[in-house]
Amino acid sequence: MCGIWALFGSDECLSVQCLSAMKIAHRGPDAFRFENVNGFTNCCFGFHRLAVVDQLYGMQPIRVKKFPYLWLCYNGEIYNFKQLQKQFGFDFQTLVDGEVILHLYSRGGIEQTASMLDGVFAFILLDTANRKVFLARDTYGVRPLFKVLTDDGFLGVCSEAKGLINLKHSTSLCSKVEPFLPGHYEVLDLKPSGKVASVELVKFHSCKDEPLHVACDTVEALPSGFDLETVKSNIRILFENAVRKRLMAHRRIGCLLSGGLDSSLVAAVLLKLMKEINVNYPLQTFAIGMENSPDLLAARKVAAHIGSEHHEVILNTEEGIQAIEEVIFSLETYDITTIRASIGMYLVSKYIRKKTDSVVIFSGEGSDELTQGYIYFHKAPSPEEAAEESERLLKELYLFDVLRADRTTAAHGLELRVPFLDHRFTSYYLSLPAELRIPKNGIEKYLLRLSFEDSNLLPKEILWRPKEAFSDGIASIKKSWFSILQDYIDQQVDDLLLEKAVEKYPFNPPKTKESYYYRQIFEKHYSGRSSWLPHYWMPRWVKATDPSARTLKHYKSATQE
């Protein structure tokens, strides 16, 4: 995990512009480099480093003797770099996983490069010999990337939008800053003046397509067919492989553990694999919640079962409320459910950074979207519509859960790893018949639970624990976290303000005081940037006025059963 930043064709003094690069310093607390591009005085790279792999030679932009005309700034982890090196006979100069991007590009161009990378990434690749700039981002946007491109060819690129919004340019303050789309690469021509012109934006991978890099995966061809035992076995094999490949790190590994199915499965498989490769430290797991909240109690049970070194962070209401503004600043969104869920994750990440030496943090993001884990999937009109909704949610992850997971951890210099969003695991799961993937017997994620039922990885009551939204599970059964927030915000927003909300905020107008409060804070830091959120996250097929699962009729806590 790190922060990348680059400018091409800047009219302003680069020493002034580079102040914007410091807005993302939290993403790389270990080192910073600012480097001009030879022959282009108005082009430069900025890089904030969190040293996780190759602590000696990992500074960026990466340049190697074999390709002196290539400059690479990337944020991410390429899990199959050693397999690619072996398959193509690449001669690496460093131990940095990202170096493989330079070799792949030199061998087969940008299309093959992006398609063959098994991992999470956002990168800027400059080819001065052919006068090209390339941008690319992984399938689910696990690693963030934003860009701004003016009509006269000034390009700014950054891991977070906050590193671009204050850039200066002769024509104006920078025009539209927007997220770079996941699963895409862009080709731009670099002119002698340092300015650029976009040539094409190409989608190189869809979540349903088996990725090209399967050809050099460590797990070979799986048994075909959709009989239940084969499917369950394949799910276990691919999920374990997804966790195993993410063990690549020279820093201590930890795991977020809410006690729900997803994080519990990740933690259990992670600890099992760490033992297999004789990692010489215990796995630290981290839970956050109010005293005796459902998440704390369940996480405690899981930690005892798997034998992790467990840490509990007790959330008090005042601390959570005080964190709202810094959370919204970190997130760059005003989405209601994203902010609610981010407060707990932000505070537990803060604890990890201050109190432990764990840096690489595993988490369960992506499972709800992939395996139809949201409560409202029980109301899907048909298996086919449920499958379509699952794909829609996966495509929008970069706006919601993946955004939350990245920003709340990166704000404290941690690197997040999300095995449920492994390319091969997700494409296999989405290839299964729609009927197999829907909730069954009143239980969401039925197929995933069933696949691990005989593994003894988790206690049965955790494996079959009903879905809790993270923002709900950290509070008590009696009073949800969203209710606590709403009670506080009710006192902060006047009724009259809410009545005039549509006039003040015509795009995505707030409909509740809570929503209005978040929007006010967002506009304070990112005025006029409301289009970053195309729509609020809300459940489908139900008449919901709030995104919390606890407002849906289907919801019942484990204590009420």
CATH of residue 151? 3.60.20.10
| Catalytic (active site) residue 216 | no
Interhelix angle 481-490/513-525, rounded to 10 degrees, is 80
Residue 241 and residue 197 share a domain = no
For the annotated binding site, the residues are 97, 256, 288, 363-364
Query: In this structure, are residues 398 and 182 in contact, taking their beta carbons and an 8 Å threshold?
Result: yes
208 within some domain: no
Residue with tokens 């601390």: 319
Show the tokens assigned to 425.
Answer: 């695991």
Residue 322 and residue 440 share a domain = yes
Residue 496 and residue 377 share a domain = yes
Beta bridge partners of 440: 443
Beta bridge partners of 137: 122
Alpha carbons 373 and 390: distance in angstroms, whole number: 9
213 within some domain: no
Query: In this structure, are residues 288 and 350 in contact, taking their beta carbons and an 8 Å threshold?
Result: no
Q: So what's the pLDDT on residue 558?
A: 40
Last residue of a domain, one of 178, 203, 228: 203
pLDDT tens readout for residues 303-315: 999 999 999 999 8
56 within some domain: yes
Find, among 198, 174, 182, 184, the residue nearest to 396 by Cα.
182
Interhelix angle 261-276/294-306, rounded to 10 degrees, is 20
210 within some domain: no
- ∠ CA 498-503-509 to the nearest 5 degrees? 60
For the annotated binding site for L-glutamine, the residues are 97
Q: So what's the pLDDT on residue 556?
A: 47
3-state secondary structure of 560: helix
379 within some domain: yes
The number of distinct structural domains making up the chain is: 2
Rg of the chain taking only CA atoms, in angstroms:
23
pLDDT tens readout for residues 314-351: 988 899 999 999 999 999 999 999 999 999 999 999 99
Q: So what's the pLDDT on residue 290?
A: 86
3-state secondary structure of 225: coil
Distances (CA, A) of 150 to 8, 154, 171, 539: 11, 5, 9, 37
Beta bridge partners of 185: 136, 202
Query: In this structure, are residues 328 and 517 in contact, taking their beta carbons and an 8 Å threshold?
Result: no
| Reported pTM | 0.94
Task: Count the alpha carbons within 13 Å of 456 in the hemisphere toward its beta carbon.
Answer: 1
- Side chain identity at residue 405, one-letter code: A
561 within some domain: no
521 within some domain: yes
Residue 157 and residue 231 share a domain = no
Find, among 188, 167, 164, the residue nearest to 177 by Cα.
164
Q: So what's the pLDDT on residue 1?
A: 66
Q: So what's the pLDDT on residue 278?
A: 95
Residue with tokens 């840490």: 311
3-state secondary structure of 445: coil
Q: So what's the pLDDT on residue 250?
A: 87
Given a cut of 70, the residues of the chain with pLDDT beneath it are: 1, 52-58, 171-174, 468-478, 548-561
For the annotated binding site for ATP, the residues are 256, 288, 363-364
Provide the residue range defining the domain that includes 191: 3-203
- Catalytic annotation, pick one of 2, 44, 73, 255: 2
- ∠ CA 338-339-341 to the nearest 5 degrees? 70
CATH of residue 418? 3.40.50.620
Q: So what's the pLDDT on residue 137?
A: 98
SS (H, E, C) 282-328: CCEEEEEECCCCHHHHHHHHHHHHHCCEEEEEECCHHHHHHCHHHHH
Last residue of a domain, one of 170, 203, 236: 203
